[in-house]
Amino acid sequence: MKDNSLITTLLIVVFTGVGFYGGIKYQQSQRGNFSGQLGDGTVRNGKVGTGTPRGGFRPVAGEIISADNKSITVKLQDNSSKIILINDKTQINKTETVNKSELKIGEKVSVFGSENTDGSVTAQNVQLNPIQIGQQQPPTDK
């Protein structure tokens, strides 16, 4: 009788441990996968996400190193650059919508648009001085 209760107790401990381990492995495999919304939500080399999100949509973040009336060139975090094509439909925002003339060398930007076959991006929206992921707003004096 004592041997049966000892065996039963050991089996319960073993099955509980195996079940716990299996639950941990299952939970690890169920982590949220948000790829396809804006990539995987991470910023690498000035680009949000790792894959091309739906419809060729390609966000780009960096510093303007060249600007003219039809395009800007943005320096990415990995020191490469991306040509951004701008047209009359492109929205350019600071705290409100502004003109192309606000796109100046040295400005920080986040660009949202469609990636072209040559690697350039046709901008749909350009955000001037965006807050980068992990960056906080500077404190305001009251």
Of these ranges, 28-37, 91-100, 115-124, the one predicted with the greatest mean pLDDT is 115-124
Of these ranges, 26-35, 74-83, 102-111, the one predicted with the greatest mean pLDDT is 74-83
Per-residue pLDDT band at 36 (split at 50, 70, 90) = very low
Confidence (pTM)? 0.46
In a 10 Å sphere around its CB, with 0-12 CB exposed, 13-18 middle and 19+ buried, how is residue 98 labelled? middle
pLDDT value of position 4: 80
**Mean pLDDT of all residues belonging to the chain:** 75
- Whether the CB-CB separation of 86 and 126 falls below 8 Å is answered with yes
Residue 47 has pLDDT above 90, yes or no: no
Separation between Cα atoms, residue 43 and residue 83, nearest integer Å: 18
Of these ranges, 3-7, 108-112, 135-139, the one predicted with the greatest mean pLDDT is 108-112
Per-residue pLDDT band at 125 (split at 50, 70, 90) = confident
pLDDT value of position 66: 93
Residue 16 host element (H or E): helix 2-29
Q: What is the mean pLDDT of residues 56-79?
A: 87
Separation between Cα atoms, residue 28 and residue 81, nearest integer Å: 36
pLDDT value of position 64: 92
